[in-house]
Structure 1
Amino acid sequence: MTYPTDLLAELADIDPASELASARATRDAATRHAQGSHDVLFGQDDDDFPLSERIALAAKVAEWHGQPALHSHYAHHAQPVSASPRSEAAQAFAHLLTFEPVAATPDAIGRLREAGWSERGVVTLAQLVAFVSFQSRLLAGLRLLQGNNADGRAPEVTAGRWHTAPQTAEGKTAPVRFTREELGWEPWLAAKPLAAFSTDEQATLARFGHTDSDYFRLLGRNLPLLEQRTLTDKGIFYTTGGLPRAERELAATVASKVNGCIYCASVHARKAGQLSKNETAIENLLNVQPGASLSQHQSPRWAAVIALAASLSVTPPAPTQKQVSDLRAEGLETLDLLDLIQSAAFFAWANRLMLTLGEPFERG
């Protein structure tokens, strides 16, 4: 089966001569590896998660995200999938990841395993739903920059709820508030032992610094997909020019506040504070309670950054042209806006994996 070499450009109808096309060429690594992640997900066909099941579920997730062009793309390639305990468990898990990943518990994975899903299949399933969540937000953002979204008054996006249980499933002390402290993370599905990877696979893990991480060795159960995801991450966050790195990290923190991901926020709030030298503003963001405005006590520029990142992070995403206009008034250009959109969109992917495959714990 063949796919477009740049699916999002096709679905967003990006003019090759536009500033947006130029910005995406500047961010070539992010563009290529976002497509590469798609190609791996929908190029594999194995008993753990057959291709027909993947495409059918991707169409459903895109529909839930209110992205008709993306839904049509997957629906065009989809074939009927027979109802079964396996497919019903997968759809229930996908619905949870799409709409309320913070509500996930180890039982959600247990139900998949009882329905016949292998460990590798569970990881690939979580990756697929999280990837289409990223893809949907990136498409919404690209269409926004193309001027294809109807303008409107976006409701103010507020902080989501987060876990407040004092202990993890394994009995460790769990964080019950957002923090910039370094946290640990325990998986609810066994990470793949390092010795079970081939020599070449171990070299791939080592190249990205993933060898000693339970999280990455868990995702390493589908290593080709993890590799493309990691390269997408690096292409979005570790590039020069465009939006300052601190504000890309701010966008990641905002998405994590919307989704209730304490672990991701701890990493990226710490980086945003260090790079911006504005730790008070970061603490203000972390301290926002569920249902309260995320942009309170922020500068006009950061309030505008937070507004767009937050509107991209809800399901379905709801960014507006006014938010883009507000950011342009603060001096952001097309490349800056692309960086912001990609940073927020990527954490729709990252948060969903962190929240549904395990949970954080306090170190020390």
Structure 2
Amino acid sequence: MSSADDLLALLADIVPESELDQLRNVREAATRHAQGSYEVIFSQQQPEFPLHERFALAALVAEWNAQPALQAHYHQQAQPFSDSSRHQVLKDFAHRLTFSPVSATPAHLTELQRAGWSTDAIVTVAQLVAFLNFQSRLLAGLNLLQGKASGSEAPPAVAGRWHDAPYTASGKTAPTAFTQQELGWEPWLAAKPLAEFTGQEKVVLAKFGHTDSDYFRLLARNLPVLEQRTLTDKGIFYTAGGLPRAERELAATVTSKVNGCIYCASVHARKASQLSKENASVEKLIHVAPGDALAEGQSARWTALIDLASALSVTPAQATLQQISALRDVGLDTLSLLDLIQSSAFFAWANRLMLTLGEPYLPSTTQG
């Protein structure tokens, strides 16, 4: 796609036909659908959540992520928030989603509903905030790849805390530790019933295998955003060459450890183990305790991968040029670095939806 049609290329000042520009064209689907996600979120006409409110919220999230160019872009089309409870609850939810998604509970969604936000609008709010956290980290990574970042050394990122309550809100047995076991996930808001989708919408759901998933039928309350998000995901994780797929899955697992997302980690740690044949190393990673360094005891290559992925995952991102250099020293070229950055950034989006709209459960157990 043309750089003129690509917001991140513009904000990162990527030179047309440069190596990075060419490699983003190699990853054309990821580039196109990241832009497509932005275009859908900020063009939809939804009276409950008008565009000026979306731009205002996006500018706030970009500010929290220390991305001034992105903040300025959104601020241009924003209007100031009022002092109403509707806007205060919205900002509180966005702040939690950005800085501490693991602290979300069903009560926070109830607060939004009491302030006048419908279920459909809440899903759009969650997608917007989660997308901004993805977009901010991707922009940070693109700047790093061009040498446009501080060279100062960052402290090692550590494992975040996670849910340890024994039961879910509905009474199912909940996982209280990270695991490679297959888990279930239940929403805190009602998934949209399949019967309420149009024929064409059902085709879209079926194309991506989303028909029977409560998670995806909840997100499908804004189906155009879900479609672009799914295509972005596939463009990042299912492409040939560059970073091995196992290490893209490793990055997803690392981000999930930083954010405390047991469900996402269970899926992607399992894939990392299967593809890398390094189950012991993956087990060591997922069992790192809150506050401990994530790369402890890993190989030189996985240490470098974990260090960058985890540094990108904190808020604001703390990734450094030294981390890029360390990855080049263990054999990553620029395409592989781009894959690592995009994989880590995408799970800043995925974790935030999983953690704030529902929770995992152990499917083999009955309700408590």
With the shorter chain as reference, the TM-score category is over 0.9
Deviations 1:111-134 (A, max 9, x none): 000000011100000000000000
Deviations 1:207-230 (A, max 9, x none): 000000000000000000000000
- Give the aligned partner of residue 173 of structure 1: 173
Structure 1 runs, 4 residues or longer, greater than 6 Å off: none
- Give the aligned partner of residue 77 of structure 2: 77
| SS of match in other structure, 1:77 | coil
Q: For residues 313 and 18 of structure 1, what CA distance do their matches in structure 2 show?
A: 27
| SS of match in other structure, 2:5 | coil
**Aligned length, in residue pairs:** 362
Q: For residues 356 and 26 of structure 2, what CA distance do their matches in structure 1 show?
A: 33
| SS of match in other structure, 1:186 | strand
- Give the aligned partner of residue 316 of structure 2: 316
- Give the aligned partner of residue 273 of structure 1: 273
Structure 2's unaligned 5+ residue stretches are none
- Give the aligned partner of residue 142 of structure 1: 142
- Give the aligned partner of residue 118 of structure 1: 118
Q: For residues 351 and 67 of structure 2, what CA distance do their matches in structure 1 show?
A: 20
What letter matches 1:179 in structure 2? T
Structure 1's unaligned 5+ residue stretches are none
Q: Does 1:283 align with 2:283?
A: yes
- Give the aligned partner of residue 305 of structure 1: 305
Q: For residues 169 and 34 of structure 2, what CA distance do their matches in structure 1 show?
A: 33
- Give the aligned partner of residue 353 of structure 1: 353
| SS of match in other structure, 2:184 | strand
Q: What is the TM-score normalised by the length of structure 2?
A: 0.97
Q: 1:85 Cα deviation (Å)?
A: 1.2
Q: 1:11 Cα deviation (Å)?
A: 0.4
| SS of match in other structure, 2:76 | helix
- Give the aligned partner of residue 11 of structure 1: 11
- Give the aligned partner of residue 343 of structure 2: 343
Q: 1:46 Cα deviation (Å)?
A: 1.3
Kindly indicate whether the alpha-carbon contact (under 8 Å) linking 1:48 and 1:120 is maintained by their aligned counterparts in 2.
no
Q: For residues 273 and 363 of structure 1, what CA distance do their matches in structure 2 show?
A: 21
Q: For residues 76 and 190 of structure 1, what CA distance do their matches in structure 2 show?
A: 35
Q: For residues 265 and 239 of structure 2, what CA distance do their matches in structure 1 show?
A: 21
Q: 1:17 Cα deviation (Å)?
A: 2.5
Alignment of 1:1-364 (within 5 A): 5-364=5-364
Q: For residues 4 and 332 of structure 1, what CA distance do their matches in structure 2 show?
A: 29
CA RMSD of aligned residues (A): 0.9
| SS of match in other structure, 2:134 | helix
Q: For residues 186 and 307 of structure 1, what CA distance do their matches in structure 2 show?
A: 32
- Mean Cα deviation higher: 4-13 or 315-324: 4-13
Q: For residues 176 and 259 of structure 1, what CA distance do their matches in structure 2 show?
A: 15
Deviations 1:259-299 (A, max 9, x none): 00000000000000000000000000011000101001100
Kindly indicate whether the alpha-carbon contact (under 8 Å) linking 1:189 and 1:218 is maintained by their aligned counterparts in 2.
yes
